[in-house]
């Protein structure tokens, strides 16, 4: 057996694997973050109806992908999962939050605004007032989040946050639960279309498609390119035309 060849093959496989992890790091963290929240929500009593990875379409044909929805007689809880890193500051009303990491500052889109758009979409689809909904931004990482927000909660406090609402405001949670299910888009083609639309929006913005950090012009060995301001934690780059 040619052990030199085997050695170089193993090295090549390792390099490809590391490259894959770097390019997909935030997607992987996000995936496991959603699994973590899903596992926590299962601990709720049976009267709380849980929906995960829901996609709905509004009258203007725009689609909204929602991480988790909990339907109960105490309201409808719309949960956006975020796996953040670094030191995060901001408040509910800010357009962006500030992220500090490795001595650098960058902006990330305020997830409270993102989740509010999901609630507005559900209001339209379910024909309900927004007072029936509660927005929750669930942090699944060890990031230091100093955000002035009534919506943001650490995953370890998620269930307590939901159970803290004890006023009955929904008459028939089962009807709403089934209504959301009936409007859920399960078509793989439609879901891919949604992802592509999001990518197009990001492509035309100055935000990193992996971590939502700022894209800045950098000088490299082969000339100028766009790189993520969160480097080295995020190694996204794009050639300038």
Rounded Cα distance between 22 and 27, Å, is 10
Domain ranges of the chain: 3-207
Sort residue 18 into left (φ over 0), alpha (ψ -120 to 50) or beta: alpha
85 or 6: whose pLDDT is higher? 85
SS (H, E, C) 23-49: HHHHHHHHHHHHHHHHHHHCCCCCCCE
Question: Please, which pLDDT band fits residue 202 given cuts at 50, 70 and 90?
Answer: low
Question: Please, which pLDDT band fits residue 87 given cuts at 50, 70 and 90?
Answer: very high
Rounded Cα distance between 169 and 153, Å, is 22
Question: For all residues of the chain together, what is the average pLDDT?
Answer: 82
Rounded Cα distance between 3 and 150, Å, is 60
Question: How crowded is the C-beta side of 15, counted as CA atoms within 13 Å?
Answer: 6
Position 212 scores a pLDDT of: 60
Question: Please, which pLDDT band fits residue 86 given cuts at 50, 70 and 90?
Answer: confident
Please check the confidence at residue 97 and state whether its pLDDT lies above 70. yes
Rounded Cα distance between 226 and 230, Å, is 12
61 or 50: whose pLDDT is higher? 50
Question: Please, which pLDDT band fits residue 21 given cuts at 50, 70 and 90?
Answer: very low
26-35, 110-119, 147-156, 167-176: least confidently modelled range = 26-35
Instruction: Name 133's bridge partners.
Output: 76
181 or 93: whose pLDDT is higher? 181
Sort 228 into a burial class: Cβ within 10 Å, 0-12 / 13-18 / 19+.
Answer: buried
Kindly report the backbone phi and psi dihedral angles of residue 160, in degrees, each rounded to the nearest multiple of 5, phi listed first.
Answer: -65, -35
């Amino acid at each position: 057996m040619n052990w030199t060849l085997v050695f170089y093959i193993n090295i090549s496989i390792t390099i490809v694997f590391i490259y894959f992890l770097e390019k997909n790091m935030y997607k992987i963290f996000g995936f496991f973050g959603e699994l973590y929240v899903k596992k926590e929500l299962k601990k709720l009593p049976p009267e709380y109806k849980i929906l995960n990875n829901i996609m709905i379409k509004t009258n203007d044909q725009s689609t909204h992908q929602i991480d988790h929805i909990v339907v109960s007689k105490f309201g409808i809880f719309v949960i956006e999962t975020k796996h953040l890193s670094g030191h995060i500051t901001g408040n509910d009303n800010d357009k962006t939050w500030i992220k500090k990491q490795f001595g650098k500052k960058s902006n990330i889109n305020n997830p409270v605004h993102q989740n509010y758009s999901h609630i507005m979409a559900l209001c339209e689809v379910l024909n309900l007032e927004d007072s029936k909904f509660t927005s929750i931004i669930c942090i699944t990482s060890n990031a230091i989040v100093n955000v002035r927000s009534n919506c943001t909660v650490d995953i370890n406090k998620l269930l307590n946050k939901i159970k803290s609402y004890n006023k009955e405001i929904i008459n028939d949670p089962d009807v709403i639960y089934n209504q959301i299910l009936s409007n859920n888009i399960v078509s793989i083609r439609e879901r891919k279309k949604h992802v592509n639309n999001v990518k197009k929006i990001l492509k035309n913005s100055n935000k990193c498609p992996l971590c939502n950090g700022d894209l800045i012009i950098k000088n490299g060995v082969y000339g100028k390119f766009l790189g993520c301001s969160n480097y080295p934690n995020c190694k996204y780059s794009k050639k300038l035309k």
